[in-house]
Amino acid sequence: MTTLNLAKALNEGLRKSLERDQKVLIMGEDVGKLGGVFRVTDGLQKDFGESRVIDTPLAESGIVGTAIGLALRGYRPVCEIQFDGFVFPAFNQIVNQLAKMHLRSLGHVSLPVVIRIPFGGGIGAVEHHSESPEAYFAHTAGLHVVACANPADAFTMIQQAVASPDPVIFFEPKRRYWDRGEVDVSLDLCDAHPLDRAKILTEGADVTLLAYGPMVKTSLEAAAAAQDDGRSVEVIDLRSLSPFDVETVCASVERTGRCVVVHEAPVFAGLGAEVAARVTEMCFYHLEAPVLRVGGFSTPYPPSRLEDHYLPDLDRVLDTVDRTFGY
């Protein structure tokens, strides 16, 4: 075991991927010499060369569009979108092109492209640097959408994403980049938790708390605090948002009878809406209360001096957990 922060764990995972397969490329803005604005690709250009770790012009559609072309030629590009809000110029290339090429070709073409997106708020940034756009992509057939929450998962999940024959939108919780954790860098990927499966982080009997990305840590803290009130909270890190691991989630809710979904994104038509609908449909006779959601408000992301009010924190998560016991 090695202690790494989340950014460094991604860096090590990318390094393994580059070593494993000559066709793996990294491309994006400032990913080369600078090592990325969050240093996730630090040192990779120096070790693998400018041909494999490519500093691109500043145009996100161009990054994804040329990555598609490289994938058509047999490469496995890993694109970095510098910040969540910058992914929208690439929306057509992701949703219309990347997601649909396999179908359009009746399976002749596979596009193993990974798009890494640092997402979420909490770092005091200016507008467009704190978004949680995951629902747009989870709504799009043809894409896998995943989010890592800790260094150990970051290390394995990025390698699994690179190895996937399908396109993967890979969300990274930017305010957790500096969180440290134990990582088994010698772990054989065949022994790693499957990329499309959720993970139960703490077992509990009274309520299931579902989270992903930056909200996993908040949920774990909420579970610890709830313990003091005598409530046993089960925390599940969804990890894969599309496909969504119905099996693990429903098995848990059938045991606890209560479910709360947590994310930073606005709750209206967010990922939690889909989760709530499915859990309700599949666990109806086990539910003691409606599935509740806690997340961002139905507003644009606020200026950073207000973000602490916008983002669900430990108290708002606990408040929602309390409400599920009011039915």
The minimum distance between CB 95 and another protein, in angstroms, equals 10
Number of CB atoms found within 10 A of residue 327's CB = 10
Nearer to another protein, 49 or 124 (CB): 49
User: Residue 251: left if φ>0, alpha if ψ -120 to 50, beta else—which one?
Assistant: alpha
Nearer to another protein, 39 or 102 (CB): 102
Residues 6+ apart with CB under 8 A from 39: 7, 11
User: Which parts of 38-57 interact with another protein (CB under 8 A)?
Assistant: 51, 56-57
Per CB under 8 A, 72 contacts another protein: yes
Please tell me the chain's helix, strand, coil percentages from 3-state DSSP, rounded to the nearest 5: 40, 20, 40
| Whether 295 contacts 265, CB under 8 Å | yes
What is the enclosing helix (H) or strand (E) of 55? strand 53-55
Strand pairing class (2-5; 180-183)? antiparallel
Per CB under 8 A, 186 contacts another protein: no
User: Which parts of 232-271 interact with another protein (CB under 8 A)?
Assistant: 240, 242-244, 246
Question: Locate tokens 């001096």: which residue?
Answer: 305
Rounded distance between C-alpha atoms, residue 212 and residue 139, angstroms: 17
Nearer to another protein, 63 or 262 (CB): 63
- Is 129 annotated in the active site? yes
Write out the two tokens for 17.
């991927």
Tally: H helices and E strands in the chain: 12, 14
User: Which parts of 84-143 interact with another protein (CB under 8 A)?
Assistant: 89, 92-93, 96-97, 100-110, 112, 141-142
Nearer to another protein, 91 or 203 (CB): 91
Q: Which of 43, 124, 165, 300 binds another protein (CB under 8 A)?
A: 165
Nearer to another protein, 174 or 199 (CB): 199
Per CB under 8 A, 324 contacts another protein: no
Where in the sequence numbering do the catalytic residues fall? 129
Query: Which residues contact another protein (rule: CB under 8 A)?
Result: 20-23, 25, 51, 56-57, 59, 61-62, 64-76, 89, 92-93, 96-97, 100-110, 112, 141-142, 144, 159-160, 163-166, 189-190, 192, 194-196, 240, 242-244, 246
